[in-house]
Structure 1
Amino acid sequence: MFLTDRVSVSAPRRTADGYLVADAKVARTGIQEYLGSELGRPDIPIVRVYRPPEEVFAQDAMHSYAYRPVTVEHPAQMVDADTWKAVSAGATGAEVVRDGQFVRVPLVLMDAAAIKAYESGKRELSMGYSAEIVFRDGVTPEGQPYDAVQTQLRMNHVALVKKARGGDQLRIGDGRHPGALDPRAHHKQEKSMSDIKTRTVVVDGLSVETTDAGAQAIEKLQRQLSDSQAATQRQAAEHTAAITAKDAEITKRDATIDDLKGKVLDAAAIDARVQERGDLVAAAKSIHDADYRGKSDAEVRKTAVVGKLGDAAVAGKSDDYVQARFDILVEDAKKDPVVRALGDSANRTPVAVKDNGYAASVQGLDYRTAGQKEA
């Protein structure tokens, strides 16, 4: 991963050839903040990256600072043999040393435009390098929390820039080495450090003044919060709609169940219905003997009335009228003496008739008996 780390140069001097020579701090340990988008993690606005001493001062990492090209601002890609001539404005030397928490190297600016840029206020350095980023939370020995750790640092170039990521304490003319090129260098540097462009961002109704990077982070968080709120509202609406639909479905199901319950007869009701149906059919047969199977109660009554009185008796009449005629006919059938007699004979117990006339007559015809009588 291509990263940049900004620190300040100090104690510069000009050579007889017009070159600018300096001994520069170009890296440090500790925590530096990066935008999440710089590290391939746009989901994290600001990433606190820890550079542990064992990684910063590793032998291979220290060797990679030597003989690196110096550029003005960072080129679009890593510097190599194909691009060196186009972008190089100087180089670092070989005397790479540890200076407390910093890495210090000698460097030289050989390009007149680069030297002019330095004199105009572009006086800080930014390392272009590759490193492995391990995302894990932790706390430094000094008690500072971090989100990720840098390992396997390898330097590619040093860029001359206007503002250091490492902080304004790493600047030219820090009190021990006033600028040798211009007595006013220290004053100009102080001015450039304080003349940082800021933006005002409104956060929850409050105006907050911050840098461009901070404003970008805040605006991104605000967009994410707005998107999250919109998503929450959308999910709540969908949930409410789903609950409403489910309630309607349950209500409909309950109504169906209640309707079916109303249509289900218990055993007693079934017995009563069977008795009622049997009585109706018997009453109908007392009026007119017919096959009443498969007919509704109303059809049974109508069939009996028509069978007894003819179609004209019920033509155009309502079911209530037909039922009334049926009831009258049933009552009349109960009063009919023939019907009642037939009903009574069916229920009468047979009685044996004692009559000896026939036996006596037969006996009188017996020749033996008849001769005796004649004699």
Structure 2
Amino acid sequence: MRKVLRYDSMQFVAGAVTTPEGFLLDSPIVARTGIYTYLQPDGSVRREYRPPDEVFAEDALVSFKGKPITVLHPKGGRVTADTAHKVTIGTIMSPAYRKNDTDVACDIIIHSPQETKGFRELSVGYSVELEETPGLTPDGEPYDAVQHLIRCNHLAVVPSARAGRKARLNLDGNEVLDGFESEGNKNMVKIRIDSNEFEVEQAVANHITALTNKCDAANAKADAAETKFTQVKTELEKVKTDAADQKVKLDAAEAERDALKGKLDATTAEKEAAIEKAVGKAKAEVKERAELDACAKKAQVEKTDGLDNKALKIAIVKALRGDSVDFEGKTDDYINAYYDSIKNDLNDTDEAVRQQLNKARQKLDGQESQTPAAKHRQDMIDRMTNKKEEK
């Protein structure tokens, strides 16, 4: 933890009284628990948490008693024995005490009320040890650090609180973190917010300007982000449209592919059928040609070379029936039918010839069996057989 100085501002409590000597007596709220915000030199805001157990700690409360009251915070941030006689306009007369669940008050006396220059708020100058640990309060508020060992050094009268007024107490003052107000009047400037003009301290104006610049930068970033978002959205819509178009084209291509595949399958089947038919036809023609050649040989057709099957059929018919048979203008079916009848006649003739040959062979066999040699052989067999039976 590191030890630093802090200022926190509160408003005078209504009902302050003036003594016969012209002194001002009051019992204002001077501190509270919770989140305190501090403006840093770069314009950023730092949030520090003051837990109740630190604010209401006995040593912290006692540290308020007897401390000087000043107008603005002194140079160097601390009142010491060397500077007290120059800057002191009053004194804290009591230890601080708990006012309610969140606030701390103390009894004060202002010996020189005329020196306050009309300022109506109080800012405690104190030292703390910071625990640089971010977190959340029990109420869920985020903070950047935690204050410990709070010790009061002085109480300053200042023109305005850091975060404005709320009920009877005011939050932190406008003083810059780790920097302190010098003695004398503050540098007041006028600023315009929307259509209203305000007179504020230079530090406040600087802070507002810094916040305005941040706001403008944030708005510019937001506008750029909105423009980028619109651009990306437009591009996305275009991508979606292109994707839809591509899908339509893809579907059309797939349909065309399927149609072509169907045609290819049909063509393949047709080709295979044609091939099968052609092969069958070729086989039939080869078989028919073989039969025709056999029939032509039987019919004793002298010349078959160079004749197709139709011509060969006509030649066979004429070889058997004579040249008087006229096929001029006849259809193929007629020629085929005529040939088939001749072919049957050729087959019938072959069968008759075979039967005559068989009869001739049988006759020859019968005649051979009556030759002397055959007869002599049979007689010898008969004698041998009769002898076996006699024995």
Sort the TM-score into its range (normalised by shorter chain): 0.3 to 0.5
TM-score normalized with structure 1 length:
0.44
TM-score normalized with structure 2 length:
0.43
